[in-house]
Amino acid sequence: MDLERNELMNGQVIELLIATPPANIVSERVIVALDAALREAAARPGVKLIILSGKGDHFSYGASVEEHQAPAVNAMLPKFHQLIGTILELPVPTLARVSGRCFGGGFEVAMACSLVMVDETVSMGVPEVKLGVFPPVAAALLGALIPGARAAELVLTGRACDAAELSRLGLANEVAPKGKLAEVVAGFLEKHILPQSAAALRQANRAARLGLVKRYRELIGELEHQYLVELMATKDANEGIKAFIEKRRPTWSNA
């Protein structure tokens, strides 16, 4: 099973876990299953929040590198962008509960959630540039979430952020001690989410995220085209992905 679903707090909270540990790769199968599960959960009027997490010690190492090869990427990437759009436009608030590694597509899934809570083990980033490619979702959204120079730095360098930096940047709402993240999330929900009306939470979530949704819808089509048509026509994009799969250093041609 690629995805696990749990009902918490008398069905007021739905937990969806990417369940292919240890890496919890965001494959095309996971993308399709997660999109459907989110829509199903949101259709229930009593649901006040949806938690997204990864089974085991890590949220997700990222999207499937194999599926970034042509021609598979032409089918996978639009579905992934649709998933991010679903998360952004979901009326029900979402919360990413993140431990361990959270890279690439995993980072983008977490970043798209209404709230992000992490623990001290977390390492998050978009390392795509090291593979000769770039992260379209992060390119669209990061500049709206953190200062533009920092957003550009993360996309251009591919470096990872620890819990302290995520908190400073405003990418994490809470940082929990190691092993205490579930407890911290539960306490937050009991204090701040469960006392509220599910209908009011949905209206507030839609209102709070309207600007981000508009930005994403405005930019993602052009970024997807750039990735699939321009980027994938370069030698280095194909070399970087091939080198990763073959577990070797890429040989860049700068073309």
Per-residue pLDDT of the chain (255 residues; tens, 9 = 90+): 799 999 999 999 999 999 999 999 999 999 999 999 999 999 999 999 999 999 999 999 999 999 999 899 999 999 999 999 999 999 999 999 999 999 999 999 999 999 999 999 999 999 999 999 999 999 999 999 999 999 999 999 999 999 999 999 999 999 999 999 999 999 999 999 999 999 999 999 999 999 999 999 999 999 999 999 999 999 999 999 999 999 999 999 999
Residues 6+ away with beta carbon under 8 Å from 240: 130, 131, 132, 133, 250, 252
Confirm whether pTM is higher than 0.75: yes
Where do we find the tokens 């819990």?
163
CATH domain 3-177 topology: 2-enoyl-CoA Hydratase; Chain A, domain 1 (3.90.226)
Q: Could you state, in order of their start, the residue ranges of all structural domains in the chain? A: 3-177
What SS3 state is found at 87?
A: helix
- What are the structure tokens assigned to 84, written together? 């991010």
